[in-house]
């Protein structure tokens, strides 16, 4: 059965621990990007075909965030960006599954749409203090 996206939460906390509690109330869209570098190991003996082996994984999170100065989690993201410090983030599918780790806020691009609200297109990149891992709920 498909998972309903409106159940998903982006939880924010202090670096070093998995965030718990309510997610960021002012988040509208979340995208977890995951890819793996493929290393070219082509040799002359491959009959004219390129061959590869898996290399390092790359992960990032992008999300849209409405400006809400009353939301403590909004302030945590903004403060981490301004200070260049890591925060914990867990992209929870609503059932306890998702990507968890410590992240740096790479960007907070502000949009001031004439007929909308002020929002931020925000990107997170992994911190070496707690690299991202896929978490599965027990059960």
Residues lower than pLDDT 50 in the chain? none
d(CA 43, CA 75) in angstroms, rounded, equals 52
- The CA angle 98-104-108, to the nearest 5 degrees, is 100
pTM equals: 0.87
d(CA 121, CA 32) in angstroms, rounded, equals 14
Q: What is the pLDDT of residue 1?
A: 61
Residue 1 DSSP class: -
Q: Are 98 and 34 in contact (CB under 8 A)?
A: no
Q: What is the pLDDT of residue 95?
A: 87
- The total of structural domains in the chain comes to 1
d(CA 125, CA 27) in angstroms, rounded, equals 17
d(CA 73, CA 105) in angstroms, rounded, equals 13
Q: CATH number for the domain including 52?
A: 2.30.110
- pLDDT (tens digit per residue) in 118-138: 999 999 999 999 999 999 986
Domain housing 18: 5-135
């Amino acid at each position: 059965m498909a998972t309903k996206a409106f159940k998903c939460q982006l939880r924010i906390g202090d670096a070093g621990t998995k965030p718990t509690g309510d997610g960021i109330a002012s988040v509208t869209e979340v995208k977890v990007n995951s890819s793996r570098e493929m290393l070219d190991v082509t040799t002359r003996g491959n009959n004219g075909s390129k061959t590869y082996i898996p290399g390092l994984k790359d992960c990032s999170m992008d999300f849209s965030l409405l400006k809400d100065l009353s939301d403590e989690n909004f302030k945590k993201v903004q403060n981490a960006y301004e200070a260049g410090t890591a925060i914990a983030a867990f992209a929870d599918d609503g059932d306890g599954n998702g990507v968890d780790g410590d992240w740096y806020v790479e960007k907070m691009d502000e949009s001031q749409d004439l007929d909308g609200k002020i929002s931020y297109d925000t990107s997170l990149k992994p911190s070496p203090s707690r690299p991202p891992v896929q978490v599965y709920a027990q059960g």
